[in-house]
Every structure is written in C-alpha cells, then in structure tokens.
A and B are shown apart, each in its own frame.
Chain A
Amino acid sequence: MTRVLLAELDSNPRRVRKSIRSAARALCDAGLSRSLTENVELAVTEAVNNVIEHGYGGRSGGIILIEYEMIADTLKLTILDQSQGMADTHLPSGRLPDLMVEKSDLPEGGYGWFIIRSLTRRQHYSRHEGWNRLSLTFDL
C-alpha cells in the first residue's frame, strides 16, 4: 500500500488541534479501535508540537503533512515538515523524567518523547530534499 495524505497542517498550535482530531477521526471511521485512535491522536500531537516548537520555532505558516500507511498488522503515520530539522538525528531517548524528587524539582517537560515511545512500536527519523520525516509505527 502506498502512503496516503491524511492531513495538511499549518504550524499553529490552535489550528493543528482540529486537523489532528479530524485525521484521527477519519482513521477511526475506517475501523481503528477507539483506544488506538486516542493513542494516534496523542502521539501525533506530541510529534507535531515538537515540529512547531523546535522545528519552526513557534512560528505559524510552516507546513506539516501527515501521511498514513497500513502495512500488515501495523499502522505507520509519517509527519513531514520543511523546518531546519534535527541537528542530531538520534531520536530523544524518551526516558521518563525522575519523579521521586522534591516538589520544587518536579520536571515540567521531557514527557513528550516518553509518551511517543510508549504508544508506538517503532519511530524513525530521516531527512530528504528539505523534508523532515518522522514515522511512527503502531500495532493494530
């Protein structure tokens, strides 16, 4: 099966909500379980948030595409963008921040990649001809 365009987004935190929700709903209508649809919406939201914040520096007007592909018993979602890309192509480890600390030391960030890794079987980043591609594979 080839990759199918699911949604085209503008890098604006408010506007992406609706687009990602619609994309997830489309997959749900196509038969994805409710639980998996939630996981997809959450993982894609985390990935898109990273693109907006770290890729496009919080600026609107950046293009983000979401494509999907069903391969055997997995669903692969690819988030594409044209921002500067990751300096280090190694994906963040996504280890859960240490919570057994004093209240004042509780981390407010670092949960995003942990959430992505927890919800997906595999993640892969590549960059080609000005496009960043992050693919997330979910077990069906």
Chain B
Amino acid sequence: MALLSSSGSGDFQVLGVNTDRIDAAIAIQFKEDMRNATLEGPERVILDLSAVEFIDSSGLGAIVAAKKQLVDGKNLELAGLNPMVEKVMRLTRMDTVFSLHATLEDAIETRL
C-alpha cells in the first residue's frame, strides 16, 4: 500500500499518511513519496498524521526534509497529531517550524 494518499480542493492538498509509524525503516521512502506527491498542486499542503502513532528522529527528519523539498511558495502543515507524535513534535520545538492542528477539520477550517 502506498504511504500517502492525496486529496483536496483547489485551495489545499491533503496528504494522508497510511502507515502507523514514520521511523528509520521508512524515512527514505517517505521523503521520496512526499516529493513526488507535491510536485504539482496548491500552495497549501496539509499532512494528515491521524494514522501515525509513532515517530522517531528519523521520521522527524523526513518530515523536515519534506518541507525543505517543497517548491518555493508552498508550505507544509501538520494535522491529526496523536499524543505520542505531538509529544515528539513539541519536545523538539517543531511547533515553531510547522503549524500543528489537532485534527484535519481544524486544519481545513484555519485560514492562514
């Protein structure tokens, strides 16, 4: 099964992560898949992490890499953070780098 599924309206793209872990075992594939999924499409990209229960520093690095890979003008937001994922994000101050939304609905309703 592909790691990511893409959907969205004209204003934003939602990338749903289909794995419960973003870690050392899949970090490279994740980064690659993110790059391919965001080559085209709207500027606002929302990564839906609702299915993800665990990330480690490799997973964190892959998400940062995904943001860096985005074409200029595009931005990456994170949504649906489960407690453990949110713990890692806040611990590493990633809330200063990414907009974090509790749910996908929150993300979609937020106008930046």
Contact = CB atoms under 8 A, between A and B. Distances in A.
A106 B67 contact: yes
B25 A42 contact: no
16 contacts: A13-B24, A14-B25, A38-B84, A42-B84, A45-B24, A45-B56, A53-B24, A99-B93, A100-B96, A106-B64, A107-B61, A108-B62, A108-B65, A108-B68, A115-B88, A115-B91
B19 to A, nearest CB: 11
Interface of A: 13-14, 17, 38, 41-42, 45-46, 49, 52-53, 96, 99-100, 103-104, 106-109, 111-112, 114-115, 118
A49 B58 contact: yes
B83 to A, nearest CB: 8
- Give the 8 A-B residue pairs with the shortest CB-CB distance, closest first: A112-B57, A108-B61, A13-B25, A111-B57, A13-B24, A14-B25, A49-B24, A108-B65
Contacts, number: 63
A112 B55 CA distance: 11
A45 B68 contact: no
Contact of B61 (A53, A104, A111): A111
Contacts of A53: 24
Given A17-B21, A38-B87, A99 B97 contact: yes
Nearest to A49: B24
Contacts of B43: none
Contacts of A46: 56-57
Nearest to A41: B54
Contacts of A42: 54, 56, 84, 88
A49 B68 contact: no
Contacts of B93: 96, 99
A107 B67 CA distance: 11
B99 interface: no
Given A17-B23, A106-B64, A111-B57, 18 more contacts: A13-B25, A41-B54, A42-B56, A42-B88, A45-B23, A45-B24, A46-B57, A49-B56, A49-B57, A96-B92, A99-B94, A99-B97, A106-B67, A108-B62, A108-B64, A109-B61, A114-B92, A115-B56
